């Protein structure tokens, strides 16, 4: 069995590194440095997606969006034109379930299979081997990929058929994005009314307001000023936008989801899509007139261009 990995950014690189602990790997990425890090660990470099596809039975992808996935699969020197019948493509992108299902149908007509297996837990979770993997696949394909995914993490969940892995990831990121904003707003409210931010965190941690963001990020990243995370505003906004669109398409009222989407869009308008996701803490401080984030934080709020 020959395995390949395309897309070796901070997330894909960490996932590929875990796979490589148990399986020989062929790799491809536009970044030579990203490829070299895996080659130094024993991976085989491929010059193109099509070269990799011609050698592999299972191909993993971890790319920014489903549009990138389509380009890598069906574009010039893409996977579809070079892969052998029976090849399984595993999309670990945080993608659009509707687009994923459409691509799976197109690939099925070519004798190829596409399933989705996005992750939650960040590069740190991948490095530790604890990351959650949400799989959208028919039972036979799930049985085929499950042992390989266990090389990455034991926390593998079959969400349902193709596309449901991406649905689960969008649901997860919608909750994470909303949890972040509501927690930041609550701490700003406490600070504005005489409670020190760290004291407010201690109280939340002992009460029913405790949540993942407060527990893992509020003291160690927000209040300490270490906002850099490696995940951008643009990527989270994309995930929340896709979740809201899915809700609209399936008849779910996305009242709170759309609030999360619009707050991130407002922050993007000020700071750009490539700003760190925790930049929303700076925006919350600005709106509330607080300084939960210390002045010597590791990100700088750009001056909006007001024109002449």
Q: Residue written as tokens 């000020």?
A: 270
Task: Single out the catalytic residue among 17, 169, 238, 261.
Answer: 169
Supply φ then ψ for residue 92, to 5 degrees: -100, 10
Q: Residue written as tokens 């649905």?
A: 167
Annotated active-site residue 169? The verdict is yes
| Residues contacting 283, CB < 8 A, separation 6+ | 263, 266, 267, 270, 271
Q: Residue written as tokens 């004798």?
A: 111
Count of beta carbons in the 10 Å neighbourhood of residue 90: 25
Supply φ then ψ for residue 156, to 5 degrees: -110, 130
Is residue 154 classed exposed, middle or buried when 0-12, 13-18 and 19+ CB atoms within 10 A define those classes? Answer: exposed
Distance between CA atoms of residues 305 and 124, nearest Å:
36
The residues carrying an active-site annotation are 169
């Amino acid at each position: 069995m020959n395995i390949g990995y395309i897309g070796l950014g901070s997330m894909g690189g960490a996932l590929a590194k875990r796979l490589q602990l148990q399986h020989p790997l062929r790799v491809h990425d536009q970044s030579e440095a990203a490829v070299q890090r895996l080659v130094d660990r024993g991976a085989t470099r491929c010059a193109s997606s099509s070269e990799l596809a011609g050698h592999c039975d299972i191909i993993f992808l971890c790319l920014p969006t489903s549009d990138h996935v389509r380009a890598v699969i069906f574009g010039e020197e893409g996977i579809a034109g070079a892969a052998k019948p029976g090849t399984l493509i595993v999309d670990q992108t945080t993608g659009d379930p509707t687009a994923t299902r459409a691509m799976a149908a197109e690939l099925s007509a070519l004798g190829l299979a596409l399933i989705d297996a996005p992750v939650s837990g960040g590069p740190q979770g991948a490095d530790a081997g604890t990351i959650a993997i949400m799989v959208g696949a028919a039972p036979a394909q799930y049985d085929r990929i499950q042992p390989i995914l266990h090389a990455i993490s034991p926390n593998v969940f079959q969400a349902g058929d193709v596309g449901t892995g991406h649905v689960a990831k969008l649901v997860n990121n919608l909750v994470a994005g909303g949890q972040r904003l509501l927690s930041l707003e609550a701490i700003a409210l406490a600070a504005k009314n005489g409670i020190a931010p760290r004291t407010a965190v201690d109280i939340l941690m002992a009460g029913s307001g405790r949540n993942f963001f407060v527990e893992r990020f509020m003291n160690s990243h927000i209040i300490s000023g270490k906002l850099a995370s490696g995940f951008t505003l643009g990527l989270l906004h994309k995930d929340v936008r896709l979740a809201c669109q899915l809700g609209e398409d399936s008849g779910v009222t996305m009242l709170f989801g759309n609030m999360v989407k619009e707050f991130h869009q407002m922050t993007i308008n000020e700071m750009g899509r490539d700003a760190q996701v925790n930049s929303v803490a700076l925006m919350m401080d600005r709106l509330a007139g607080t300084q939960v984030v210390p002045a010597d934080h590791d990100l700088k709020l750009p001056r909006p261009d007001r024109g002449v």
